[in-house]
């Protein structure tokens, strides 16, 4: 199901896991890798392709929610405001949301827009994990260095490092870990949705 209004999102009470990140962070590729489906989420060389809230039901058990990227390159100011509004509407009003995965390209140093977005989630008391993408593009030592630099930067604002995953959509790195994590949370919930956003 795809739409741009939170009120029209699915009505059932299944837990939802939202995936969000900057444009071009590799979100569609990561979702397709997790689900082992080539074109479930549309990939595009043009940033800002996802402009709707996309719900995918997984094993009749939970929803994977593909959200628009934040911080587009080629989108008018007016459109950008609208997207940002329905992104924040989703996070603030969606009671079924259990956790957000914030996608971060591991090749770059911490970007202000990612840090601001995590700050926003923290202030809004929305649980999130980080998924570092494109890990295959770096040698192991460089990858480790970048993750450490990210930790160092985050710990300036956070008491502890949020839970994180290292992923690569081209070789399925992180797939099992991330899906196991979702399964574990769903088991803990035992069909009960968390009492966030109340």
Q: Tell me the domains of the chain and their CATH numbers.
A: 2-189 (3.40.50.300)
Instruction: With both helix axes pointing from N to C terminus, report the angle between 112-123 and 140-154 in degrees, rounded to the nearest 10.
Output: 50
pLDDT in tens, the chain (198 residues): 888 889 999 998 899 999 999 888 999 999 999 999 887 877 655 555 557 899 999 999 999 999 988 865 455 666 666 657 778 889 999 999 999 999 999 999 998 889 989 998 999 999 999 999 999 999 999 999 999 999 999 999 999 999 999 999 999 999 999 999 999 999 999 867 765 544
Tell me the backbone φ, ψ of residue 124, rounded to 5 degrees.
-90, 5
CA gap 164, 100 in Å, rounded: 11
- Return the structure tokens found at 49: 């392709």
């Amino acid at each position: 199901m795809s739409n741009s209004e939170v009120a029209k999102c699915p009505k059932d009470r299944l837990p939802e896991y939202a995936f969000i990140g900057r444009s071009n962070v590799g979100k569609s590729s990561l979702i397709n890798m997790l689900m082992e489906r080539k074109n479930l989420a549309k990939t595009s060389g043009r940033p800002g392709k996802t402009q709707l809230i996309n719900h995918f039901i997984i094993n009749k058990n939970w929803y994977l929610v593909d959200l628009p990227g934040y911080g587009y390159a080629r989108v008018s100011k007016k459109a950008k405001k609208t997207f940002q509004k329905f992104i924040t509407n989703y996070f603030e009003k969606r009671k079924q949301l259990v956790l957000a995965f914030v996608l971060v390209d591991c090749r770059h140093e911490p970007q202000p827009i990612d840090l601001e977005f995590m700050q926003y989630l923290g202030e809004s008391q929305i649980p999130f994990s980080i998924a570092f993408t494109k890990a295959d593009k770096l040698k192991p030592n460089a990858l480790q260095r970048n993750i450490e630099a990210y930790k160092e930067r985050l710990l300036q604002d956070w008491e502890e490092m949020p839970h994180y995953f290292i992923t690569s959509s081209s070789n399925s790195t992180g797939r099992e870990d991330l899906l196991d994590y979702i399964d574990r949370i769903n088991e803990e919930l035992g069909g009960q949705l968390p009492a966030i956003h109340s």
